[in-house]
Structure 1
């Protein structure tokens, strides 16, 4: 699906997979020079007081693959980790988002998953969002990164922090085995729809494993067709059946998968809306979606946000954040709708 053949940089986003489009707000910077940028960043950090504007401009106008080259160059020229210098020079939400920008995507997701599971209480919403929106290839890279950083398997941590059907479904997603092909099989859709119907609506009690298997392993286009067939069989939307048959985090997870299969940018727009509305901002979610989708589908997320809430993501960020943090998010957002 990638027509951009002149990319020599390692692409951490998976180029031939399903929902990774070129609908990002951040692209490779033309005329890119890692050494010029490394020097620019160094000067911005080293001076008396930080030159935040230069720092923001450089890091939000380069793709992640280009930022990785700046990091290498920075290390070679100054013998220091750029991430460490940013951490010691900046603070608060501004520091968090700048560090996020210089982290490779798979490592960033691994760290977000770890944060979701550490300490008392698990942030199930974050686990659900990351595991339902990443491609199989991304999941494999995230699992690898997780093991490299924490010397523990992602599966083991999920197992010890969650339980029951929710755990089973998360582990299936973490395995990165979802079919990614764009072909749909009508016969299979009818068969799966019948299986789902038999496992839920038709049965006394619910066969959760059938729901997990079909929803966590079939491709999104295939699931869309299955949901249409399901409606024909049961005269009900799959969402209504899930709500009626299941409960708790397992229900939340399956509904998230259905939402992603139907319209992933709309699902993420809704998450951003939740993060920005009401008292206090959920920066953990805001940073994660803005940074992780900035090279994939943030343009589509912006369009869905405007469509569903009647105002732009840009204006929501502006009214809810401030200072250098706001400026950085606005640059990643890439424009007003």
Structure 2
């Protein structure tokens, strides 16, 4: 077992790195050494390991995965790699992988980034994306072919992060709610995409959340119900998922996790993505909502649905994280 790492900045992590180096190939040890630590500690371990041995732990994990070494799970390597990355670097990689996939489900990963991150963090993600891939994230979203229903919404959300901080105004939120009603369920036909995109472009995520709260207060039901009641198309379906992510993130992530764990969606990578990204922010709340919604603990669902092995051990270690 690895020596317990303290959060103190004075800790050198040299003993930990020595144990990791001497136990290469023993995945249970590596999982315990990394996933039981905080992401900040893992990044310090990565830095120390490279100073001591001249090798990057993430590169070693990726090489192990590509070589298909016996007992090495690509999913385990991917999860450990993401866990050690700085959050904005990790999000840049997740965004790139989503853009390379020809599937609407993968674009949900981009929605989670633009909805769940602060504007300052989005700026760092874009810098990391440009540095790693030599191209602009915004431009890659615009140029995605073939066009997909999330594309317009993602462009609008990206513009919102550029122009606004966490500005929230009750009066403006009520006005926006009324505009959404008048150009949606309050008028015949489909939702007016132009109005929705204009509001998404000009308002911050906290303001949009207040707008949808005002909508429910004024009209007696969630905005997502009004989307369902109109002639729903691909844009409306995408909009509904985005709004749910804005209004109730834990419930959104719980549904994504359940569907992915149970194999009910093509977005199989959602398990790793969500568990890694939310483990140090709202895992307690996700576990509470999961149990309330499905009547079973998240950990138990993982044990019942994921084959035993290193990957399941990683997921369980992440599920045991407390905020």
TM over 0.5, shorter chain: yes
Q: Any conservation in 2 of the 1:192–1:214 contact (CA below 8 Å)? A: yes
Query: Which residue in 1 is equivalent to 2:262?
Result: 277
Q: Any conservation in 2 of the 1:166–1:253 contact (CA below 8 Å)? A: yes
Is 1:77–2:59 an aligned residue pair?
Answer: no
Query: Which residue in 2 is equivalent to 1:302?
Result: 287
Superposed displacement of residue 121, structure 1: 4.5
User: Could you say if the C-alpha distance between residues 37 and 167 of structure 1 is closer, same or farther in structure 2, counting changes exceeding 3 Å?
Assistant: same
Is 1:147–2:126 an aligned residue pair?
Answer: no
| Distance in 1 between residues matched to 2:304 and 2:198, nearest whole Å | 42
| Distance in 1 between residues matched to 2:176 and 2:228, nearest whole Å | 19
Q: Which runs of 5+ in 2 are unaligned?
A: 65-71
Task: Give secondary structure in 2 for the equivalent of 1:295.
Answer: coil
**Segment of structure 1 superposing worse, 159-168 or 89-98:** 159-168
Relative to the length of structure 1, the TM-score reads: 0.80
Relative to the length of structure 2, the TM-score reads: 0.83
Superposed displacement of residue 145, structure 1: 1.2
Q: Any conservation in 1 of the 2:185–2:227 contact (CA below 8 Å)? A: no
Superposed displacement of residue 169, structure 1: 1.6
User: Could you say if the C-alpha distance between residues 240 and 327 of structure 1 is closer, same or farther in structure 2, counting changes exceeding 3 Å?
Assistant: same
Q: Any conservation in 1 of the 2:12–2:48 contact (CA below 8 Å)? A: no
Query: Which residue in 2 is equivalent to 1:328?
Result: 314
Higher relative contact order (CA 8 A, sep 6+): 1
| Distance in 2 between residues matched to 1:269 and 1:329, nearest whole Å | 14
Matched ranges for 1:178-217 at <5 A: 181=166, 184-205=168-189, 206-215=191-200, 217=202
Alignment length (residue pairs): 304
Q: Deviations over 1:166-188 (max 9, x none)?
A: 4222012234248554x753322
| Distance in 1 between residues matched to 2:208 and 2:264, nearest whole Å | 36
Superposed displacement of residue 256, structure 1: 2.7
Query: Which residue in 1 is equivalent to 2:67?
Result: none
Q: Any conservation in 1 of the 2:43–2:86 contact (CA below 8 Å)? A: yes
| Distance in 2 between residues matched to 1:282 and 1:256, nearest whole Å | 14
Q: Deviations over 1:176-230 (max 9, x none)?
A: 248554x753322221112212222333454323212334654555444433432
Q: Any conservation in 2 of the 1:265–1:301 contact (CA below 8 Å)? A: yes
**Segment of structure 1 superposing worse, 90-99 or 325-334:** 90-99
Matched ranges for 1:1-337 at <5 A: 29-30=6-7, 32-45=11-24, 50-89=25-64, 90-118=72-100, 120-121=102-103, 123-161=106-144, 163=147, 166-175=150-159, 176-177=161-162, 181=166, 184-205=168-189, 206-215=191-200, 217-231=202-216, 233-245=218-230, 247-278=232-263, 283-321=268-306, 322-334=308-320
**Segment of structure 1 superposing worse, 228-237 or 194-203:** 228-237
| Distance in 2 between residues matched to 1:55 and 1:228, nearest whole Å | 45
| Distance in 2 between residues matched to 1:204 and 1:66, nearest whole Å | 56
Q: Any conservation in 2 of the 1:29–1:61 contact (CA below 8 Å)? A: no
User: Could you say if the C-alpha distance between residues 250 and 127 of structure 1 is closer, same or farther in structure 2, counting changes exceeding 3 Å?
Assistant: farther
| Distance in 2 between residues matched to 1:126 and 1:246, nearest whole Å | 26
Provide the aligned C-alpha RMSD in A.
2.8
Q: Any conservation in 1 of the 2:173–2:214 contact (CA below 8 Å)? A: yes
| Distance in 2 between residues matched to 1:178 and 1:61, nearest whole Å | 38
Q: Which runs of 5+ in 1 are unaligned?
A: 1-27
